[in-house]
Every structure is written in C-alpha cells, then in structure tokens.
Amino acid sequence: MLKTPRTKLRRVPNRGTHERARIDAILDEALISHVGFVHDGRPAVIPTLHARVGDEVLLHGSAASRMLRALAHGVDVCVTATLIDGLVLARSAFHHSMNYRSVVLYGTARPVTGDDRLAQALEAFTEKLVPGRWADVRAPTRQELKGTAVLALPITEGSAKVRTGPPIDDDEDYDLDVWAGVVPLSLTASRAEPDPRLRAGIAQPPYVR
C-alpha cells in the first residue's frame, strides 16, 4: 500500500524504505510535521504538531486554520516529518551532507468529529508532548472540544528516508589532509522552567526531566 508511483524511491533508493515499522518510529519520535497543501493552486507548508494513533496521523489544527477552514470533505495533503541526526563533514565540499531520518506521507486528511474522538486526539497530542501528562491535567470541556480542530490522515501512501554513518568521499580524496567525520545532533531537553505563576508547593512531576 505504501508504495505507489508517487512514493517510488527514485533518488539514492538504498536510503529509502516503505516499511511501516520504520515509518512509525520516525513519526513517533518527531514532535512536529510540515503539512503541505494546495491553496488557490499554490503550495503552502505549515508546521504542525502531530500524533500517530494506530494507522492514522492526527494533525493539530491550531497551526493550520487556513487549511482547516471549509474542508468538511477533506484536503489533499503531504505530511513530512524530519529528524536531524548529524552534520556529515566530507573531505570535499561536494560530499558534505546531513544524517537524518524523514517520512513523507500523502493522502486525504479529514476532520475528526465527535466529542469522544476529539478528546482522544487531545489526549494523543498531550501524551505526545510529555508521556504521562494527560492524567495530571484538567480534561477538556465540551466548549474546548468544539474549538479543537484536528485532521486525521490514514497512513497508506508514503516512505521513509534515512541517512546514517560517515561521509562517503571520492576514493582519491581519502588521502587528503582534511579532517572528516560526523557531528551528531539531537533535539535535547534542558532544565524545566516552572511557570512564574505556579502556585507554591507544587512539585515538579517526574516526567519533566
């Protein structure tokens, strides 16, 4: 299913895969996606919080209100999630690169409706940000659910691409007097900053490192 003419891996195909497990792992690790859609015949790309739930990717609508307006019948989207893993320093300028993992999904995203499904989506987004958080926070009201725009995209057409490892230089360049290697990069949390308006006596929960 995931492999279609549109998702056939053309360029450096050995870096690509249609394996669901690989795709899911990247979607689950990436905090945000970039959602592309066509607006008045022209492309638009908006960063959006997403959460995978089973065979769907849920897209938080708050960042994509334009996309979500008047879209009761669904919208053709491309959802791309990218993790940056490192800078790849080769001996030649030409072979510099990055290590990364990315997923590109295509399909029709449809609005999530109904209080139960919207509440489940809010739970998925909250747990995505910080696993364990949902149980501690005030649950959404009916009014808040009404104000929550969520799109669901089935995971049916897409692929993942991964680059790992050291630079690949031209054979003759390995003799050059140039340092080469990888600088690993990762999205890293630092010490939590309590809300200045936090009430006294509330302990920092364990899921906030």
Contact between 140 and its own copies by CB under 8 A: the answer reads yes
Instruction: Name residues contacting its own copies, limited to 162-201 (CB under 8 A).
Output: 166-167, 173-199
Contact between 137 and its own copies by CB under 8 A: the answer reads yes
Rounded to whole angstroms, how far apart are CA atoms 79 and 108?
10
Instruction: Name residues contacting its own copies, limited to 72-111 (CB under 8 A).
Output: 76-80, 82, 84, 87, 89-94, 96, 98, 100, 102, 104, 106
Q: How far is the CB of 54 from its own copies (least distance, A)?
A: 20
Q: How many CB atoms neighbour CB 148 within 10 A?
A: 18
Contact between 71 and its own copies by CB under 8 A: the answer reads no
Q: How far is the CB of 173 from its own copies (least distance, A)?
A: 6
Rounded to whole angstroms, how far apart are CA atoms 209 and 205?
8
Residues 35, 67 contacting (CB under 8 angstroms): yes
Stretch that binds its own copies, among 21-29, 50-58, 63-71 (CB under 8 A): 63-71
Residues 161, 91 contacting (CB under 8 angstroms): no
List Cβ neighbours of 171 (8 Å cut-off, separation of 6 or more). none
Q: How far is the CB of 168 from its own copies (least distance, A)?
A: 10
